[in-house]
Amino acid sequence: MTIINSNLGYPRLGEHREWKHLLEHYWRQQLSADDFHAAAKRLRLANLKKQQALGIDLIPVADNSDYDHVLDTLAAFGAVPTRFGHFDHQLGLDDYYAIARGTDSATAAEMTKWFNINYHYIVPEFDDVHFQLLDNRWLRYYQEAKHELGIDGKPVILGPVSFLKLGKRHGQYLDDAAVAELLPQLLPLYQQVFSELAAAGAQWVQLDEPTLVKATDPAEIAPYQQALTALHGAVPALNIELQTYFDSLDLYDQVIQLPVQAIGLDLVHDHGENLAHLQTTGFPADKILAAGLIDGHNVWASDLATKFDLVQQLRTIVTNDQLWLQPANSLLHVPITTKNEPKADPILLGGLAFADQKLQELATLTTAANQGVAAVQAEFDENQTKLAALNASSHRNNPTVRQAEAHLADQTFERQAPFATRIKLQHDRLHLPLLPTTTIGSFPQSRTVRAKRAAWRHGDLSDAAYQAFLKAETKRWIDYQNEIGLDVLVHGEFERTDMVEYFGQKLTGFYATQNGWVQSYGSRGVRPPVIFGDVAYTEPITVAASVYAQSLTDKPVKGMLTAPLTIINWSFVRDDIPTAQVQNQIALALRQEVQNLEKAGIKIIQVDEPALREGLPLKQRHWQAYLDEAVYSFKITTTGVANETQIHTHMCYSNFADIIDTIKALDADVISIETSRSHGEIISAFEQTGYDQEIGLGVYDIHSPRVPSVAEIEANIQRALRVIDVHQFWINPDCGLKTRQKPETIAALTNMVAARDAIQAQLSTPTK
Ligand code: GLN
Ligand code: ZN
């Protein structure tokens, strides 16, 4: 009996982002629907052939998408919000994209993060749905792979319970009662999909139920049990691989009893818990263990010898014909191939594995398992040599960084005086009015800004000319800010494409990939920096820009940095040392930058932590450690300054209620928070717990070009002032303005200042 391997999903983007260009050309009407479909098919088949050539036995099909897999699921099952129309047939491309992107008459569906991954899915709206199977896309793609390539693929389908739990009704994520109500309506349609697949000859279906990893109470197994009993009962001929990922199963004992033929477990991001369950409880003899061995959301080459040991361990628990080797989750979340990184240091390159290299590792491990390591000894040896070279390299062993880290334990990272003392000193120094106004940092990255940067990158614009351009842009916007009447100014961040990439370019230990794109949402790709070595500070990063901006005005200009955890959350982080250690290295580097800004005369320094909330671990029991580390690294970064220096921070995204204690613990003098998507909720959170520091709750949404009226902004301010003392409150937009245009930005900020002035006037007029 041989062990086989199986993949869970392949990146959509294409090696040269062909998929992205395809979508965008269609949206710009540069491509007909027929040409779109033909090109999408070529890409789909190429991806399948590639997996076949890499030695994958069970190849996923229907994991492709024209935008997002949750959108595909809701479109197939007719769960289209009614504002986009009523459908009794498969959606055409325009109707499909209307849901994702909105139309003049219907706002786009909401998008949110896919578990703890930086991928965004379309949130289903189950308000008044009548499920109907509009398109058995799984059958279409199964048949296509079979007929065109002779591949007997494994259709990937989002499971009915996860599909429901990822959606909302009346603006709220579905609770158990709502799931129980809708599930029976959905199951017959899944049964139909399954029976059509079985009739077409499909052996296996991969049913993704990632929400299972969030279930902690045994009672939560009920809907999964109901769904799987119904599906297996109706179509016993189709084998179900119940796939979980991103963490361990707390309900392991219940899940292994479910009527499925294979269970996919994540053995990489499970904190060792799935393996512990396997060892203590064992695994049922009538099921296949689909073992997620290869990291599916980081970019590092596996240590093949260690992975092989794990395989051998699993073979003491299950028999060979019960074992599949897999990535731990879909490879959608990693870049495609390292072969398009010719500029990478060969030592680093040897330690990297993108999707194709991961599949190669899987094939090698499968051969080792079936034929013995000797059959792939050369690959194993090369792997050891490359990993040893990277680990021994000077990149990973910077003595200065290691020494600084070793001293962390002897220090405490606290400001010199408590907030109450500091804030008085800061007020005396800054002379700000009541309800001071400011912005979050970035100003519009106009076409010109982007063109100049591109020209400079391509060598068509000299360093000096580029620097002169950046200065001119900063001067222009300092003047606008003065004219608008803002109190605390910013330099505008024109030098940054991205708030993480920019710091990555200036610190050691980071590699900016050439083609390491991953899908963020829709056609949008990002290239997260790769943190592969020790992070060290080599020279001032933002000081010159801040000092220049400050030289142009008497008003205070804020220094502007990205905090350690946000850098970590938006990068691919080395896995040979704990992430917290890397985070502290970044914090120690940024601490020097903060001190250098202070030395250069900058009186206010903002350290942005927008990604704090979104990186929260999936299981609540891991939250505290994560949040403690966030606070610790933030304090390393920000506590090395005098009491008079004012530290600001900024965060985006809703649901702050559950991390309010962490916000307090950061001990920032001023925090600005995005609130437009959760206004009431966050204000009541402050009301309940009390908050001493100064705070700006965003008074208008920056995600749309719409200019808010003075009255509207005034109302938002008044609402916040009902629970927050007027002496504590700052007036600012929700977030940075880099995606906006100049006219709307100036108009909105002018209204914001007018709203503040109106409230100031009311406050100084004694009421009867
Ligand atoms: N300072 C950054 C900006 O204004 C903050 C961005 C963010 O919060 N995502 O662009
Ligand atoms: Zn923000």
What pLDDT, in 10s, does the model give residues 381-426? 999 999 999 999 999 999 999 999 999 999 999 999 999 999 999 9
Q: Atom 3 (ligand 1): residue with closest C-alpha? A: 736
Confidence of residue 768 (pLDDT cuts 50, 70, 90): very low
205: helix, strand or coil:
strand
As a whole number, mean pLDDT of residues 262-270 equals: 98
| Contact criterion met (CB below 8 Å) for 244 and 213 | yes
The verdict on residue 261 lying in a domain is no
The verdict on residue 649 lying in a domain is yes
Cα(318) to ligand 2 centroid in Å equals 49
Cα(440) to ligand 1 centroid in Å equals 6
The verdict on residue 500 lying in a domain is yes
pLDDT tens for 172-212 read 999 999 999 999 999 999 999 999 999 999 999 999 999 99
Confidence of residue 702 (pLDDT cuts 50, 70, 90): confident
CA–CA distance, 355 with 362 (Å, rounded to integer): 11
Options 271, 622, 703, 727, the catalytic residue: 703
Q: Say yes or no: CB of residue 607 within 6 Å of ligand 1.
A: no
Q: Say yes or no: CB of residue 608 within 6 Å of ligand 1.
A: yes
Q: Atom 6 (ligand 1): residue with closest C-alpha? A: 736
Active site residue 170: no
Cα(145) to ligand 1 centroid in Å equals 44
Strands (E), 455-602: 510-511, 518-521, 524-526, 530-531, 558-562, 572-573
As a whole number, mean pLDDT of residues 222-242 equals: 98
Q: How many CB atoms lie within 10 A of CB 397?
A: 12
DSSP characters over 28-42: TTSS-HHHHHHHHHH
Q: Determine the pLDDT at residue 675.
A: 83
As a whole number, mean pLDDT of residues 467-492 equals: 98
Q: Would the pLDDT of 767 be above 60?
A: no
Q: Say yes or no: CB of residue 733 within 6 Å of ligand 1.
A: no
Q: ∠ at Cα 419 (416, 423), nearest 5°? A: 105
Q: Determine the pLDDT at residue 703.
A: 80
The percent of residues in the chain predicted with pLDDT above 90, rounded, is 90
- Of 68, 44, 7, whose CA–CA distance to 245 is shortest? 7
Provide the domain count of the chain: 1
Is 652 marked within a binding site?
yes
Cα(610) to ligand 2 centroid in Å equals 6
pLDDT tens for 51-92 read 999 999 999 999 999 999 999 999 999 999 999 999 999 999
350: helix, strand or coil:
coil
Cα(562) to ligand 2 centroid in Å equals 11
Cα(712) to ligand 2 centroid in Å equals 21
| Contact criterion met (CB below 8 Å) for 5 and 58 | yes
As a whole number, mean pLDDT of residues 694-723 equals: 91
Is 19 marked within a binding site?
yes
Atom of ligand 1 nearest to the CA of 442: 4
What CA–CA distances, in Å, run from 613 to 520, 651, 674, 716?
Answer: 17, 8, 12, 23
Q: Would the pLDDT of 236 be above 80?
A: yes
Atom of ligand 1 nearest to the CA of 735: 8
Q: Determine the pLDDT at residue 653.
A: 67
Contacts of 178-186 spanning 24+ positions with Cβ under 8 A: 178/126, 179/223, 180/222, 180/223, 182/126, 182/129, 182/131, 183/223, 183/226, 183/227, 185/130, 185/131, 186/77, 186/131, 186/160
pLDDT tens for 520-545 read 999 999 999 999 999 999 999 999 99
Sign of CA dihedral 455, 457, 459, 463: positive
Residue 663 is part of which domain span? 429-444+485-509+536-763
Atom of ligand 1 nearest to the CA of 439: 4
Q: Determine the pLDDT at residue 690.
A: 77
Q: Which of 566, 654, 702, 735 to mutate to test the pocket of ligand 1 (most atoms within 8 A of CB)?
A: 735
Q: Say yes or no: CB of residue 614 within 6 Å of ligand 1.
A: no
Q: Atom 5 (ligand 1): residue with closest C-alpha? A: 736
Confidence of residue 680 (pLDDT cuts 50, 70, 90): low
The verdict on residue 267 lying in a domain is no
The verdict on residue 88 lying in a domain is no
The residue with tokens 């992975």 is: 307
The verdict on residue 725 lying in a domain is yes
Q: Which structure tokens are listed for 302?
A: 């596996």
Q: Say yes or no: CB of residue 500 within 6 Å of ligand 1.
A: no
Q: Say yes or no: CB of residue 736 within 6 Å of ligand 1.
A: yes
Q: Determine the pLDDT at residue 723.
A: 87
Q: Atom 8 (ligand 1): residue with closest C-alpha? A: 610
Output the domain CATH number for residue 678. Answer: 3.20.20.210
pLDDT tens for 80-123 read 999 999 999 999 999 999 999 999 888 889 888 899 998 999 99
Q: Say yes or no: CB of residue 256 within 6 Å of ligand 1.
A: no
| Contact criterion met (CB below 8 Å) for 496 and 566 | no
Is 427 marked within a binding site?
no
Strands (E), 3-134: 4-5, 60-61, 111-113, 120-122
> Which of 236-245, 491-500, 681-690, 703-712 is least confident?
681-690
Q: Which of 113, 440, 604, 675 to mutate to test the pocket of ligand 1 (most atoms within 8 A of CB)?
A: 440
Q: How many CB atoms lie within 10 A of CB 277?
A: 21
The verdict on residue 189 lying in a domain is no
pTM for the model = 0.95
Q: Determine the pLDDT at residue 255.
A: 98
Confidence of residue 750 (pLDDT cuts 50, 70, 90): very high
The verdict on residue 220 lying in a domain is no
Is 20 marked within a binding site?
yes
Residue 15: CB partners within 8 Å, gap ≥ 6? 336, 337, 340, 515
